[in-house]
Amino acid sequence: MEVPLSPLEFARRARRLYANREAVVDGELRLTYEQFFERCDRWSSALQAFGIKPGDRVAYIAPNTHAQLESFYAVPQIGAVVVPVNYRLIADDFAYIINHSGARIVCAHSDYLQAVDSVRAELPNVEQFVALEGAREGWLDYEAILTAAATDFIRPAIAESDLISINYTSGTTARPKGVMITHRNAYLNVVGTLAHHALAPKDRYLWTLPMFHANGWTFVWIVTARGAAHICLRKVEPRTIFEQIETEHISIFCAAPTVLIGVANAPDELRQNARRGVRLLTAGAPPAAATIERVEGELGWDLTQVYGLTETSPFITICEERPEHLQLSPQERAVIKARQGVELITSGELLVVDLNGDEVPHDGETIGEIVVRGNAVMKGYYNDPEATAAAIRDGWFHSGDAAVVHEDGYIEIRDRFKDVIISGGENISSVEVEGVLLHHPAVQEVAIVGMPHKRWGESPHAFVVLRPGTTATEDEMKQFVRDRLAHFKTPQWVTFVDDLPKTATGKVQKYILRGGGASIAKQ
């Protein structure tokens, strides 16, 4: 009687229970669950007609559209593996990922047809090129194929250890690595997320998070599991988010760092008239307490932080609120909400360990590395046994994140180990200094990196983005930190910039700042 754990089980249930409920909104297009799954079935049938078999890979390069969402059902239900590609990469990266994954079919949105065409000669193993929109010469038309396809297809047996997706990391310092996620990985992340952050059929989820990123943090399946509505958002900007929240009655969305900062610092007229009671999850970089205060205090939204990596399906902790937290002031609650929290019930065992592999004391001060083992951890890196062995050692996945554990068991990330600044023998957390500067009324974004210093070895350098219409000086920024932290943590240099370099998922690319900022750092 055992049934393999797979998100496809959520699709079966949703189709049976929510057939006539609105499932997907993409501009003017509105689909019920029955209509949505019929389209998925037609594409599954078409893929099998193209010769796609269990284990074959199908790559997608697309923003958050209904066709991209369909890939997470149509491809896996025939036993194939979906490869959602970061559409913000360049054509050379597209070619590398497509070739490395061995994708036999490439599906692309109209915005990316030219980029794919420019490297088509480098893709000898791709058998079909399908335009999800805007088909032109050399591309098959997705909608025309769906119209002609049958709704029946062969459903192969699928084991929960089979791959459901290969998700490529951002590759900020090296070529992207293909993270192998199994049906079991994805299923348990869905269940664990819902256990801590419940959804209901009445919910309407806004797709501000790229679906390609860790399978949209598995919300491509979470929303369906509860019969809620997917509201696709092709272009993510604060004004559009606030408009969609109002017109589509949005109740929940996920906020990567750039989105969170964007909504927290949106123009006054947008924030003052915003619908209250919206729930949002944030992850990707630790949010500053000041940002949390603004989102919850001014907007009246409920923000929850989760933490994980593409390699962990992705969630492994959630900063769940406890009854005793309600007794605290908004400022005190914001400090706790800025922590990464505790294990999800399905994510496995998580520890923060020192260099000897021993758990650090729960004192909120001793820094160690976050390691995890359990059902959340990936199967490995695709075709990269060396990288897999480097990441999974002695039965534990090593995150590379430096954290402390507080007395109540809540973990708090202090940095990536590569970003910890060692100044005169003292460790400085860039996240801690950033959190202080974000309380300054003129600061919208900030990144702290270590730069060479003749006396101290290295010292903090602050790159600051100011709020529109505000001004500040370097001395003012330094004094603001000096008044709140130990003096050795004060930035030696402050550079005001228009924006910070980021990955497609909103993480600041500190290696770019370190490389470009060296010439302006004065010893």
**Average pLDDT across the chain, whole number:** 93
- The pLDDT score that the predictor gives to residue 420 is 78
87: closest CA among 110, 71, 66, 103? 110
Burial status of residue 522 (CB atoms within 10 A of its CB: 0-12, 13-18, 19 or more):
exposed
**DSSP codes joined into one string, 358-377:** PBPPSSS---EEEEEESTTS
User: Tokens for 131?
Assistant: 């335009």
The pLDDT score that the predictor gives to residue 174 is 67
The domain defined by 236-416 carries CATH number 3.40.50.12780: yes
The residue behind tokens 């249930």 is 13
Q: What is the pTM of this model?
A: 0.87
| Per-residue pLDDT band at 516 (split at 50, 70, 90) | low
Confidence at residue 486, expressed as pLDDT on a 0 to 100 scale: 80
* Residue 458 pLDDT: 84
Asked whether the predicted pLDDT for residue 370 surpasses 90, the reply is yes
User: Please, which residues bridge with residue 204 across strands?
Assistant: 229
pLDDT interval class at 82 (50, 70, 90): very high
- Asked which of 303-312, 318-327, 389-398, 506-515 is least confident by mean pLDDT, the reply is 506-515
The whole-number pLDDT of residue 520 equals: 37
Q: Alpha carbon of 183 to those of 102, 248, 306: distances in Å?
A: 20, 31, 21
pLDDT at 152: 97
* CA distance linking residue 394 with residue 351, whole number of Å: 14
Same fold, 236-416 and 420-520: no
Q: What is the mean pLDDT of residues 136-163?
A: 98
- Mean pLDDT calculated for residue range 85-92: 90
> What span, in angstroms and rounded, lies between the C-alpha atoms of 112 and 106?
11
Neighbours of 245 (CB within 10 A): 22
The closest of 171, 192, 473, 150 to 313, measured between CA atoms, is 192
Residue 475 CB contacts under 8 Å (≥ 6 apart), including other chains:
none
pLDDT of 432 reads: 86
172 has a pLDDT exceeding 60 = no
| Structure confidence at residue 271 (pLDDT) | 92
Residue entry with tokens 């010769």: 51
Average the pLDDT over 339-356 and give the result: 96
Ranking 67-81, 385-399, 501-515 by mean pLDDT, the lowest is 501-515
Q: Which residues 6+ apart lie within 8 Å of 382 measured at CB?
A: 100, 101, 166, 177, 178, 179, 180
Provide mean pLDDT across the span 186-205: 97
Given a cut of 60, whether residue 517 has pLDDT beyond it is: no
Q: How do residues 290-331 score in pLDDT, each as one tens digit?
A: 888 889 999 999 999 999 999 999 999 999 999 999 999 988
Q: What is the pLDDT of residue 518?
A: 41
Which CATH fold would you assign to the domain 8-190? Rossmann fold (3.40.50)
pLDDT recorded at residue 359: 98
Quote the CA–CA distance of 66 and 344 in Å, as a whole number: 30
Query: In angstroms, rounded to a whole number, what is the distance separating the alpha carbons of residues 343 and 352?
Result: 12
- Model confidence band, residue 66 (pLDDT cutoffs 50, 70, 90): very high
In the predicted model, what is the mean pLDDT of residues 142-161?
98
Query: CA 301 to CA 93: how far, in whole Å?
Result: 38
In this prediction, residue 519 has a pLDDT band, given cuts at 50, 70 and 90, of: very low
CA atoms within 13 A on the CB side of 5: 14
Average of per-residue pLDDT across 199-207: 98
Note whether 431 and 454 are within 8 A (CB). no
Its CATH class, for the domain covering 420-520, is alpha beta
Interval 1-43: pLDDT, tens: 889 999 999 999 999 999 999 999 999 999 999 999 999 999 9
Residue 427 has pLDDT above 80, yes or no: no
> pLDDT value at position 504?
67
475-480 average pLDDT score: 96
pLDDT above 90 for 457: no
Contact between 295 and 265 under an 8 Å Cβ cutoff? The reply is no
pLDDT beyond 90 at 416:
no
% of the chain exceeding 90 in pLDDT = 80
Task: State residue 171's pLDDT score.
Answer: 57
**Structure confidence at residue 522 (pLDDT):** 35
Q: 321 is written with which tokens?
A: 């609120």
Orientation of helix 33-49 relative to helix 8-17, angle to 10°: 140
Pick the residue with more confidence: 312 or 289? Answer: 312
What ranges do the domains of the chain cover?
8-190, 236-416, 420-520
